[in-house]
Amino acid sequence: MPKLHVNIDHVATLRQARREVIPDPIEWALRAEKAGAVGITAHLRTDRRHIQDADIKALKRRIKTRLNFEMSLAPEIVAIALRTKPHAVCLVPENRAEVTTEGGLDVVKEHMRLLAVVPRLIKIGAEVSLFIDPDHEQVEAALEVGAEFVELHTGSYARATGAKKKRELLRLQRAAKLAHECGLRVNAGHGLDYENVAPIAALPHVEELNIGFAIVARSVFTGVDEAVSTMAKLVRGRSKARSA
């Protein structure tokens, strides 16, 4: 069964809505850890729409588990990662107009930039993961640029219904198997919630799930402790989905 990494971006989204100091995403992350998160993920976007530079520094200093720094290949952000030395880095595509990360990184197209950046991140001791669509050419390309992990984009699965959902699950299963056979380690995430997480948590070879929005949204009603611990139980296959 995979481990739960909690993405705290949208706690910062709420804070930034008023440019206030509350709610504090670092305090929220510390509570999430106590409730069962085994890692904290934060995306420092180039437009700084939610997480700020100071949040990344404070997370690295204060959290007790692992910091997974989600980021684009923008040179300014790469430099921050190299200074921060997070436990893990997840490289994602970034587009200013998008509401959230829309698709996976095109590892084939970004081959040269990744060949330059991945070894520098490995050198500071970070586990490097590439956020990819669950396609075989992306898995193979991830291997060629020296990444240790791929994070499979579960967004299409999360949005799909009926027979298409089954096909998307199969696509994820095949990509996870191929990645594992190639010697890559496998994470997954995006769009996962209390209703759709169980089949993803049960996929072979998946080590970590990165889940943010659904947990932060539920915590508005139930508090961070309940929202994280309920998701952690679902990820471990120990509970059935329940609405807040």
Active site residues: 43, 70, 190
SS (H, E, C) 193-223: CCCCHHHHHCCCCEEEEEECHHHHHHHHHHC
Shortest Å distance, C-beta 209 to ligand PXP: 8
Answer for which of 12, 51, 189, 197 binds ligand PXP (CB under 6 A) is: 189
β-sheet bridge partners, residue 185:
149
Nearest Cα to Cα of residue 133 among 152, 110, 149: 152
d(CA 179, CA 185): 7
Shortest Å distance, C-beta 105 to ligand PXP: 9
Site string for ligand PXP, 72-111 (x = CB under 6 A): ------------------x-x-------xx----------
Shortest Å distance, C-beta 126 to ligand PXP: 15
Site string for ligand PXP, 150-169 (x = CB under 6 A): -x------------------
Name the segment binding ligand PXP (CB under 6 A); options: 111-119, 170-178, 183-191, 230-238: 183-191
Interface with ligand PXP: number of residues (CB under 6 A):
19
d(CA 231, CA 189): 13
138 binding ligand PXP? (CB under 6 A): no
Shortest Å distance, C-beta 94 to ligand PXP: 9
Name the segment binding ligand PXP (CB under 6 A); options: 14-22, 52-60, 164-172, 188-196: 188-196
For ligand PXP, the closer of residues 163 and 206 by Cβ is 206
46 binding ligand PXP? (CB under 6 A): no
210 binding ligand PXP? (CB under 6 A): yes
Name the segment binding ligand PXP (CB under 6 A); options: 25-33, 114-122, 138-146, 187-195: 187-195
Q: Which residues bind ligand PXP (CB under 6 A)?
A: 7, 9, 43, 70, 90, 92, 100-101, 131, 151, 189-192, 210-214
